[in-house]
Structure 1
Amino acid sequence: MKLLMHIGTHKTATTTFQKLCTDHRNLLSTHGINFPNYNDWDQHSYAAWTVQRREISEVRLFLTSIYTDSQKSGCKVTLLSGEDFENFLVDLHLAKEFTEIALEVGFEDVEWVVVKRDALDYLKSIYAEHSLTGVVLDYQVMANSILTCGYMSTIGPNYNYKFVFDIKKYAQFFKKHVTTKLRVVSFENFIAGFVGKEILSDYLPAENIDVLQSYANSMQNLNISRSQRVIEIHYSMSFLGIGYSTLAYDSNKAIIDGMAMHRLKRNTQLLSSIEQAFAKKFY
């Protein structure tokens, strides 16, 4: 039995892909693909959290459970999807340990698929998303880390994140130290037709691909973009330590708007130079 690992990365329509798979579990199972529903997890990044926290017994329990579930269902492929597995591209010891446990509990093979996004678009998406987390990010600091290391890190309430930009470099290390069975898919190819078609078409007949295509066409965007001004208002309020609320904003409007405007102007200048630096580094 194969364990197929979909690594988002972050902001590459992973949530949409997970909803599509969740809503079509029976269809996937009919054709030998188990998309596990474990402890009511809405996706599988929690497994990455347990690995990072060194809760190895929980990792083993999870992998044993989904292996047994796939066996009972007669499935030959178990598909896991999680943005937070992106860390494994850098934390090779965790990826190797996860793989070894998967093989120990019964999986015969572990394959990985990672989705790669345009570097500048990826930077902007991460920046926008984290304006809601209470962390205050700075484009210049982010870019310096990315250009130096090929990735950047942030912290969250449950996980320490690593966002990988130099996929080519880290994929080579992954293939050398973990497994050669890693496929890199561009974001454009991953969403072509419908989100995840690039993966699922390897396992499903054409008529089922058409079913998923029709469903995908009816889906709404699950992550709505916010304006740059709103993003900077959130960052300014986080910097001031006054979590976002309409009342807090109205009570401090002058200083918050001033900070937000300053950040907007600065970002316009920074992004121009960052775009040039990324073009030299990643293209």
Structure 2
Amino acid sequence: MSETTQDAVAPRATVSPDQQLTAAQLAAKYGLAVSGARPSLAEYARQLWGRRHFILAFSQAKLTAQYSQAKLGQLWQVVTPLLNAGVYYFIFGVILHANRGLPQNVYFPFLVTGVFVFTFTQSSIMSGVRAISGNLGLVRALHFPRASLPISFALQQLQQLLFSMIVLFVVTIAFGSYPGLSWFLILPVLALQFLFNTGLALIVARMGAKTPDLAQLLPFILRTWMYLSGVMFSISHLLAGRSELFIRAMQANPAAVYMDLMRFALIDGYGASNLPPHVWALALFWAVTVSIGGFVYFWKAEERYGRG
């Protein structure tokens, strides 16, 4: 039999429609997805909202465990920033006379407010940078939106600040600043600063997941930021005589913005003349820009966390 006859008689292998599809097309056809793939931004936000109870419970557990080995327990949440304020007052208020332009009954509550408010941001960043790298066991064992971790750490620091606010109220009242309508401004200031801090925690969490050594460098960066933010001195008074543009740039520093708004709300002798123009617009700008930018930046690396 000739080759031509054999070819005509031999049956041809049939190919099913599924065999003609690529792996990606088959996955799409049967609703399969890549394990650990990054969801869309809207879906990621929806998943995060669904974990809101976990975020709150995790932050409360971390707050309770933070001082569980200390005899004074959670009192250290108040004692630590208060001791820092006492040290700064002795060095900058008594020795260096950094209270330039502020009367003595205003300077100490001014300083304590600055220390407490800046510590809120500082602690959010330092806990955020280890949010992923310090919880790799949890990240690798369970499937959940990884942004839950830095957000819960920022929430932990907010709860810690709320404890400290009791002491802050006592200090301001002891120095002659009594509760008034301006105290209602505390809530929007804290809300805006919390958004700002959460955005920073998300940013450093992604950076710290890739470069754990960042946690060793951050204290130096934050200390420099503190000295530039007017924690121990009034920017407008200390820089009097400098160019207006330079003073406004220093006052636009987000840490300075939130500290000045809190001081304005709490301290009677700290008037609106100490605030930069459009201070509320600046506070809103920093909160919205950093929180949204930090969320998107963190989300873009969602599928890489915990993978080496």
Question: Which structure features the higher share of strand residues?
Answer: 1
| Structure with more relative contact order (C-alpha pairs < 8 Å, separation 6 or more) | 2
Shared fold (TM-score, shorter chain, > 0.5): no
Quick check: which has more Rg, 1 or 2?
A: 2
Question: Which structure features the higher share of helix residues?
Answer: 2
* TM-score bracket for the superposition, by shorter chain length: under 0.3
- TM-score if structure 1 supplies the norm length? 0.27
- TM-score if structure 2 supplies the norm length? 0.25
